[in-house]
């Protein structure tokens, strides 16, 4: 009987203490929650403390870089056979494809044999043309190089293009490109990627503890 009275008195005393100081427990909970939000342990979600739009832009910029650099790396590791035959013919180390023999000979007469070529860009695409009489599909492959020719004191930027249509139709073209277009084509996506990376790494500023407590 005495133990029951003792437990009852203890329970009433604890309830009296909580009623006497009702804000202590609530404020301590708010303070704990605010400290958890501002502490490094609370920074467990990458999405929660970084702008979502910056993460989306960063992902798109990465895809843009992959669309530009992956074809180039692939062409270096696995060069296209037809375009490589044109390069070998310019170096006078092999025969050019029949459709490119005339333009290769003209290039050698103008600039001299090719001494060295470094690939800097590669493009491959398919174009479909729909007409009343039927549809036509053409493939385009273009490789850009920084090249040194025997008769040219400065390096050039030749573009070797291979056009392949339906059936046996095929054509080659060798023309000089502009260095500014190559630099611009690489500089813009790299710059965009750098800006998006900076925005994604920038964390949101934590809210003041007082404002969180008042809102809660």
Residue 121 placed within a domain: yes
Residue 216 placed within a domain: no
Residue of 111, 170, 99, 176 lying closest to 145 (CA atoms): 176
For the chain, how many structural domains are there in total?
A: 1
**pLDDT > 70 fraction of the chain, expressed in percent and rounded:** 69
Q: Between 202 and 24, name the one with better pLDDT.
A: 202
What range defines the domain where residue 184 resides? 54-196
Residue 132 placed within a domain: yes
pTM of the model: 0.64
Give how far the C-alpha of residue 173 lies from the chain's centroid of Cα atoms, to the nearest Å: 31
Residue 49 placed within a domain: no
Residue of 80, 79, 163, 73 lying closest to 120 (CA atoms): 73
Residue 15 placed within a domain: no
**Bridge partners for 32 per DSSP:** none
CA distance 130 to 140: 17
Residue 171 placed within a domain: yes
Residue 18 placed within a domain: no
CA distance 120 to 142: 11
pLDDT band at 185 (very low <50, low <70, confident <90, very high): confident
Mean pLDDT score, 35-53: 54
When the pLDDT of each residue in the chain is averaged and rounded to a whole number, the result is 77
Residue 137 placed within a domain: yes
């Amino acid at each position: 009987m005495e133990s029951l009275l003792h437990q009852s008195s203890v329970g009433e005393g604890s309830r009296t203490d909580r009623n006497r100081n009702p804000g202590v427990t609530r404020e301590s909970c708010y303070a704990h929650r605010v400290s958890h939000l501002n502490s490094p342990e609370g920074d467990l979600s990458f999405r929660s403390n970084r702008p979502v739009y910056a993460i989306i832009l960063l992902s798109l910029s990465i895809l843009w870089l992959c669309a530009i650099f992956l074809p180039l790396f692939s062409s270096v590791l696995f060069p296209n056979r037809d375009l490589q035959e044109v390069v070998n013919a310019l170096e006078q180390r092999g025969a050019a494809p029949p459709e490119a023999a005339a333009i290769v000979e003209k290039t050698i007469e103008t600039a001299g044999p090719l001494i060295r070529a470094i690939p800097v860009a590669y493009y491959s695409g398919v174009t479909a043309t729909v007409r009343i009489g039927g549809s036509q599909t053409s493939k385009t492959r273009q490789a850009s190089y920084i090249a040194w020719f025997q008769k040219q004191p400065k390096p050039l930027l030749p573009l070797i293009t291979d056009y392949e249509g339906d059936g046996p139709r095929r054509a080659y073209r060798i023309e000089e490109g502009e260095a500014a277009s190559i630099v611009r084509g690489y500089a813009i996506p790299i710059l965009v990627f750098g800006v998006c990376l900076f925005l994604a790494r920038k964390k949101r500023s934590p809210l003041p503890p007082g404002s969180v407590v008042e809102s809660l």
